[in-house]
């Protein structure tokens, strides 16, 4: 009797933690119990020697999910007859491939063919957020890896010159509310932008008229100075480029957002109250961000398909 009760309770717990779409929080608990631990360790040891990789890992997950769903299409290498997403100009700020490869190799040694590259990317992004000081959260696992990766699909990524209404539209096509879009933009609390992504804002800098009123004058000079070093010169999004905090939103309030697609969130009366809210209340930003990340990690997830042996090529 007691034994049966235990079984019923265990079954109920397993049912409860099962998420939608065949994904679940404890997907690897039987098949690869060390999976979470191995990935977290790979991420932590890489970020200890290079904290700037955190931004790269989060962007990798975003870029992966926005194109063809979260299926590690971003990791596939180009072949003789196919140019992959990876080789699009949108790849500029993608970094951290080696972290994924390291984790994958250890996982293949422990439990071959079990943990998908798509799940590794999703967990690595989650662990990078936490390492950098952001919220801790669990994500459903069980994604399968995709077999398509085409450079032309990267047009589905939001370009840095988008204004707020264009961003709202593009994110809503992926099922996100305006508030979730603003929260996900807060991923820019980590990392840098390159001059090539914001020089559009400087073109009126030298003329005495028609200067973009949404940029602080001093900050405009800072951006111009950065660009003196060329298209690849880097500008941090906020004052704490390796710390996950709400400083990004404070920068927007000071009219010191780097990209058009950053500052527009403050300019647009529809999104401004959300920016102000996150700037004032970091806990609220963290709460919304983690929920939006979990949602992002479920975009067009493939429940069937392959687990790549090597994240760089299909089996």
Q: Which residues are catalytic?
A: 63
Query: Which residue lies nearer to ligand NAG by CB, 4 or 210?
Result: 210
Q: How far is the CB of 110 from ligand NAG (least distance, A)?
A: 27
Q: Is 69 annotated as a binding residue?
A: yes
245 is in an annotated binding site: yes
Which is closer to ligand NAG, CB of 166 or CB of 300?
166
x-or-dash string of contact with ligand NAG, 163-182, rule CB under 6 A: x-xx----------------
For residue 277, say whether it is annotated as part of any ligand binding site: no
Residue 16-55 contact track with ligand NAG, rule CB under 6 A, x = bound: ----------------------------------------
Q: Of 102-110, 159-167, 217-225, 227-235, which segment contacts ligand NAG by CB under 6 A?
A: 159-167
Strand partners, 235: 193
Minimal distance, residue 200 CB to ligand NAG, in Å: 13
Identify residues 75-104 at the interface with ligand NAG (CB under 6 A). 86-87, 89, 91, 94
If the CB atoms of residues 181 and 301 are measured against ligand NAG, the closer one turns out to be 181
Give the nearest distance from C-beta 89 to ligand NAG in angstroms.
Answer: 5
138 annotated as ligand-binding? no
Instruction: For residue 71, say whether it is annotated as part of any ligand binding site.
Output: yes
> Residues at the annotated binding site?
64, 69, 71, 73, 85, 158, 188-189, 238, 245
> Residues at the annotated binding site for Ca(2+)?
64, 69, 71, 73, 85, 189, 238, 245
């Amino acid at each position: 009797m007691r034994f049966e009760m235990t079984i019923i309770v265990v079954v109920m717990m397993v049912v409860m933690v099962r998420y939608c779409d065949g994904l679940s929080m404890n997907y690897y608990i039987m098949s690869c119990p060390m999976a979470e631990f191995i990935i977290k360790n790979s991420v932590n040891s890489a970020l200890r020697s290079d904290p700037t990789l955190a931004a790269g890992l989060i962007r990798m997950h975003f870029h992966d999910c926005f194109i063809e769903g979260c299926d590690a299409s971003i990791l596939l290498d180009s072949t003789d007859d196919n140019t992959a997403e990876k080789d699009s100009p949108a790849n500029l700020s993608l970094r951290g491939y080696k972290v994924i490869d390291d984790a994958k190799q250890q996982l293949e040694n422990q439990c071959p063919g079990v943990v998908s590259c798509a799940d590794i990317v999703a967990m690595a992004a989650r662990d990078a957020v936490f390492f950098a000081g952001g919220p801790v959260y669990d994500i459903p696992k069980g994604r399968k890896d995709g077999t398509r990766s085409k450079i032309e699909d990267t047009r589905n990524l939001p370009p840095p010159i988008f204004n707020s209404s264009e961003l709202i539209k593009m994110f809503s096509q992926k099922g996100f509310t305006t508030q979730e879009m603003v929260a996900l933009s807060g991923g820019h609390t980590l990392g840098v932008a390159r001059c090539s992504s914001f020089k559009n804002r400087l073109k009126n800098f030298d003329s005495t008229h028609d200067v973009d009123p949404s940029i602080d004058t001093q900050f405009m000079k800072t951006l111009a100075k950065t660009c003196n070093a060329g298209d690849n010169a880097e500008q941090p999004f906020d004052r704490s480029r390796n710390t996950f905090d709400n400083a990004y939103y404070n920068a927007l309030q000071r009219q010191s957002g780097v990209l058009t697609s950053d500052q527009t969130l403050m300019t647009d009366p529809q999104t401004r109250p959300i920016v102000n809210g996150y700037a004032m209340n970091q806990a609220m930003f963290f709460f919304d961000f983690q929920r939006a990340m979990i949602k992002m990690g479920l975009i067009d997830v493939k429940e069937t398909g392959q687990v790549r042996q090597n994240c760089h090529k299909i089996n």
